[in-house]
Chain A
Amino acid sequence: MLELRNISKSFYRKEALNEVSLKINKGEIFGLLGPNGAGKTTLIRVINRIVEPDRGSVWFDGNLMVERDLEHIGYLPEERGLYRNMTVEKHALFLARLRGLSKKDANMKIDYWFDRFGVNDWRKKRIEELSKGMAQKVQFICAVLHDPKLLILDEPFSGFDPVNVELIKGELAEMRAVGKTIVLSTHNMNSVEEICDRVALIHNAKRIANGSVSELQNQRKMGLYAVRFQGSMISFVNALWIGFEVVDKDILGDDRFEVQLKMRRDSTFEDLLKVLIGQVKIEAAWEVRPSMQDVFIDLVQPKEDRDEE
């Protein structure tokens, strides 16, 4: 669907992107992650042709991207605005027409999306009269109004109230189901885990990781396991003997604990369960996978660097 090949871009000696390549498949939600100033917004602007790359190329639907392809892209920037003195309806119509819709089609789409988001009663109001939440809905509608094949959302959940966040998430899931491709740039790692199929991490102008959420999490696994049980902590530790090492524990109250362990020698998860059964009452046991937050921090600032600091 969208392919970026060796994109490089500098702004007056400051390198914003260095040989970044990405391949985004049709019908997936792709997360674009990275700390502030990493180059995500520049990359998004390159896709939107707002910024020309110094080197590299952008391919859309198998062809070198041209200006006309912008009509198939929806874009919700991080710093988004509206013309405050235009009415909601005129604003939406103006942006839809800029995206290449005919007046008739634009009006049909406006009716559909305004109905869907409950904006109908507000269509004749000026933007300045809207609440923040309502304005956010209008901004999202303006980005999807022309039925784009590719939707690019830069921090789509920032500033949204929880109700609107859920509303947008639901819409994104539905769009993916009908084959739309979504690129999502965000710092909200919970959302990434929840809705992204694949992610790429940009840091210091370079792509430093790329893959599905579970692949990235698996790559960063530390060999940790967790057990939640009820019983005596002494019995628990005695049962482990030398095959396992306790790394961390949480006291949950009422003789309930949650313990994190590492395997020693050739011990396995099954061995762990065998030694514990009968000694404590096991409520749950699982392999600890790092959260996307952990993956992000680990990639952006490796443990060695953090230790040095």
Chain B
Amino acid sequence: MKNSWRIAVREFRERIGTRSFILLSILGPIIVLGLVYVLFAIGGQSKQHWNVLVADKYSILDNKIMAQEDRSVTYFFANDYIETDDFQLGKKYQKYDALLEVNEKVLSNKTSFVFFREKPSLRMQTRVQYQFERRLEEVMVKEFTKLSVKEFRQIKQPINVEFRDVTDPEGIVSNVSGWAGFFFGTLIFVFIFLFGMTILRSVTREKTNRIVEVLLASVSPNQLMVGKIVGIGLSAFLQFVIWIALIGFGLYFMREALFPDMLDAAKMNVHELTLNANDVSYAENYFAAREYNEFVDLIYKQVQYTNTISFFILFFIAGYLFYGAVFAALGATMGSESDGQQFVIPLIIVLCLALYAGYYVLNYPEGELTSLFHYMPFTAPVVVMVRLFQGYYVAGNVYEIYMTLLVLIASALGMLAIASRLYKNGILQFGHRLKIKHFFKWMKNT
């Protein structure tokens, strides 16, 4: 055990001292933040155009939303109630991208639904919500108060506009939180792949330069393998923490410096808002900031940190051990550093399958394969992350996450046992060309 720890510490120090580790620690978050910036600041300026049919049976909006025409959205009005099924399939509705439902209670319950055919960008959602909100404010001021619009805006409550897929009007399928879960699941697999390959290279390098025989005279193959997996895992974890810290700080910095939320109570300048209400570029900036801040809110506020981080760490460790053992065994059975690369490809395919499983569960939470993907150790970490963020594990089925964790830990231990045997029998074999039969041969005792 002591020697496994010494091996782990050596591996850890070697990794964190390398230029690639330092570069990846800094460049990784910068690239992620850069992409986020590009996504929100530039990406949203695409010229997507939306035709929105407003079903306003009681003419609450009086057949108008915008004082000026918006290049991105055109509103059409129907003073009738329209079923979502009719909207989805009806010939006459096919030219509309979305149905904005304005029911008679909108002024009291402040809730409305938008049923879309194709999921709009967050910015488009914000745009529709913003414009609808402005119009409702005008109606409310006119109907119920003697206040000016400006005064009303200072005391108003936000209006809840829910965007739903017209094929899923109950809103069962994926939501933004699910995507956040998919993002975290993907992050687990990116780290598993990057550091799994590091394990593989480290093992084959020790084989190639023959230091392994010196080590094996002091430690057992099992201790050596476990030490290596743990040491590289610790460096992966450290890098992950650095990423999270830098990305977290960067998101906060961008919120403060690049995307200040003009509707944030602390910073709101109502006068400025009113003055600029019809300024297109001002509105664009506002949409971008709103969209960005919604994203940041999701990360900072909607994620239940204690719970999520605990499970994230547990599944990260169990998933890493599971795949790490496979990479270590593969490295130990290779005849040389360049040998056996053909066996990395199936591993990459399995990792891609795991990502697909996450995507599948995101879109088909009740799909036939969902349970299978949920419990299968190859795919469990990403699927659990998606479901965790979707809020799936509530009172009745919270046991499922523990069951999956148990299955994954048991599988990781089983994989470590298999890998240990392959490692033991393969680590001192040199110069051969790795074939499938070697795995079966070395799985047996000598």
Contact = CB atoms under 8 A, between A and B. Distances in A.
21 contacts: A12-B446, A48-B216, A50-B213, A50-B216, A50-B217, A51-B446, A70-B218, A75-B214, A75-B217, A77-B213, A77-B214, A79-B210, A81-B211, A82-B211, A83-B14, A83-B209, A83-B211, A94-B6, A94-B10, A97-B6, A98-B218
A10 B210 contact: no
Interface string B192-221: 000000000000001011111111111100
A85 B14 contact: yes
Main secondary structure of the interface of B (DSSP, over half): helix
A31 to B, nearest CB: 20
A48 B217 contact: yes
A280 interface: no
A55 interface: no
B217 A73 contact: yes
B441 A80 contact: no
Contacts of A79: 210, 213, 430
Size category of the B interface is 20 to 34
B10 A82 contact: no
Contacts of B209: 81-84
Contacts of B296: none
Interface string B2-39: 01001100100010000000000000000000000000
Nearest to A9: B446
Contact of B217 (A10, A70, A81): A70
Nearest to B3: A98
B210 A77 contact: yes
B218 A80 contact: no
The 6 closest A-B pairs by CB, nearest first: A81-B209, A81-B210, A81-B211, A79-B210, A98-B218, A75-B217
Contact of B219 (A86, A98, A142): A98
A241 interface: no
B6 A80 contact: no
Contacts, number: 60
A11 B446 contact: yes
Contacts of A10: 446
Given A48-B216, A50-B216, A98-B3, A80 B210 contact: yes
B262 interface: no
B436 to A, nearest CB: 16
A95 B214 contact: yes
B403 to A, nearest CB: 38
Of residues B208, B213, B216, B430, which shows the largest number of chain A Cβ atoms within 10 Å of its Cβ?
B213
Interface string B247-283: 0000000000000000000000000000000000000
A99 interface: yes
A45 B220 CA distance: 12
Interface in A1-35: 9-12
A82 B14 CA distance: 14
